[in-house]
Structure 1
Amino acid sequence: MIHHYLGKKGFTLAEVLITLGIIGVVAALTIPSLIGNYKKKVTATKLKQTYSILSNAVSKQQTLTGIPFSSYYVSEYRKDVCPTGYEFTACANALFEDYLKDNLSNNVKILNEGFGSHFYQTYASCSYGKAFILPNGVGVNIYGGAFAIIPNYKYENNPRKRIKLVPGKNWFNFGKYHMNDISLIKDVSGLLPMGKSERKNLTRNDLILRCNSNNTDTSVSACTQLFIEDGFEFKKDYPIKF
């Protein structure tokens, strides 16, 4: 509406309120998406950094010893520290000492054991074994020869405020869980969570479906595999919302 006093144009209160309402609706629709995309980018960056850090550390030690990282829990190699492959704390500590300790930054915060009850829920791969926190704030827990990765780790004293682990969102796995049969070592590919034989029978759509599974072990492995195969990015069809 045009007002003729003072020769100036203006808006009525109703028009202003309508405009503000429209702005509010647009903001309500777009802000969550913007926040989600930002969280995706931050998480993707941290995961890519962490994969590189762990891969480099493992590769250095494998070159020195000739022992594949994925074979660490096989009794032929580690009878002294892992006679059955199930002494998770002892094995994880030994694995950390042998493969990672001398190949990581001095700014790594090392815990005496796994993350324990640091999270809202307790999952063995995130709670037991050996944990450490990288300079980029990523929490890593060694369990069964694999790494549970918590991109935005933060300890909270109040149990009710602790991180609720969601596979494929704030919890990923690098590497494959321990194998007691040395013949299976060739099936492992780097720090991918799936063996070659398992992966070759799955399409990309199968990974998406598994990523969205209610089974946490299935979900976290599939989500991580999908993320890595997609070039360390969360593509538009990535099934987990941020």
Structure 2
Amino acid sequence: MKIFNGIFNGFTLAEVLITLGIIGVVASMTLPTIKQKLDERSNISMLKKFYTEFANATNLIIADYGQPENWGLKDNDAASSQQVMDLYKQRLNMTRICEEGDSSCFAFPVCKYNGVTKITDSEYRSWQLKSFILNNGVTVFFDVNDGWFSVFFDVNGKKKPNRLGNDVFAWAVNGKGKIVSHSDETISGSGANEKEYDYAFEIMENSWTKKY
């Protein structure tokens, strides 16, 4: 027991083992919390970076092609989905594109913040949407509506937990080209008023901190 000389001097072996056991228990309780906080900071950092990158790309597109309300976008329309994809493909660094019905670019199921399943793999594939992976690992798919579109993205790629408000977020681009929450009054139709998609804006409005 020379290894403990000077550290546990005067303690019995049993007392040393009990102390080490207590240290182990405390570590097992605190390390997951520390990891969770580190993951949270990393995810928020990626969220902020993607917002900046996406906003810049959107502004460039609007400068060249006008506002989305003038693009002729239609809900459940393959041509509209392709149009949005083509516009952003020119301005975002995509390393892989998954065609309609291919869910391999995005991790499913996507769950609500409480862990209940929100979007299944089969449900996503039935929507016939395209998705893509950026060079920084962020995975994205668009859901086009009449005159506006939703953006869903996973900031840590296909790593778990794949939960809304944790690593999966969403926002909408309204007809004027403004990035808004899904509760915003300027959008309507499929996906509008889905408060579960508003976590990104909660973080942004709280100076890029998670308070929920």
Instruction: Pick the TM interval, shorter chain.
Output: 0.7 to 0.9
- Determine which structure has the larger strand proportion and give its number: 2
- CA 1:169/1:219 → structure 2, altered by over 3 Å: closer, same or farther? farther
Supply the RMSD in Å over aligned alpha carbons: 3.0
CA distance in 2, matches of 1:58, 1:109: 20
After TM superposition, list the pairs within 5 Å mapping 1:132-211 onto structure 2.
132-144=132-144, 145-154=149-158, 165-176=162-173, 185=175, 189-196=178-185
1:94 and 1:166 map into 2 onto residues whose CA distance is 28
Structure 1 residues 142 and 58, CA, compared in 2 at 3 Å: closer, same or farther? same
Q: Find the partner of 1:96 among 85, 90, 98.
A: 85
2:75 alignment partner in structure 1: 85
Which has more helix, going by share of residues?
A: 1
Q: Does 1:111 align with 2:108?
A: no
Q: Does 1:16 align with 2:11?
A: no
* Secondary structure at 2:103 match in 1: coil
Partners of 2:92 and 2:71 lie apart in 1 by 23
Q: Which runs of 5+ in 2 are unaligned?
A: 1-7, 110-119, 188-192
**Counterparts of 1:58 and 1:138 in 2: how far apart (Å)?**
17
Query: Matched residue pairs, number?
Result: 183
Specify the alignment match of 1:181 in structure 2. Answer: none
The 8 Å contact of residues 112 and 131 in structure 1, kept in 2 or not, is answered as: yes
1:229 alignment counterpart: 205
Task: Report the secondary structure of 1:175's partner residue.
Answer: strand
Distance 1:174 1:142 in 2: 10
Q: What TM-score, normalized by structure 2, do the two folds share?
A: 0.72
- Indicate the residue corresponding to 1:4 in structure 2: none
Partners of 1:26 and 1:114 in 2: how far apart?
47
What's the CA shift string for 1:102-123, capped at 9, x where partnerless?
A: 2123x53222236537513235
Larger mean CA deviation between 117-126 and 130-139 belongs to: 117-126
What are structure 1's unaligned runs of at least 5 residues?
1-7, 156-162, 179-184, 199-216
> CA shift at 1:53, angstroms?
1.2
Q: CA deviation at 1:219?
A: 4.5
Distance 1:22 1:92, change over 3 A: same
Alpha-carbon distance change, 51 to 231 in structure 1, aligned in 2, over 3 angstroms: same
**Match for residue 3 of structure 1?**
none
Task: Specify the SS of the correspondent of 2:33.
Answer: helix
Deviation at 1:124, TM superposition (A): 4.1
Structure 1 pair 102/115, CA: closer, same or farther in 2 (3 Å)?
Answer: same
How far apart in 2 are the matches of 1:126 and 1:31? 40
SS at match of 1:52: helix
Structure 1 CA distance, aligned partners of 2:47 and 2:127? 19
Q: Structure 1 length normalisation: TM-score?
A: 0.64
Query: Using a 3 Å threshold, how does the CA distance of structure 1 residues 46 and 223 change in structure 2: closer, same or farther?
Result: same
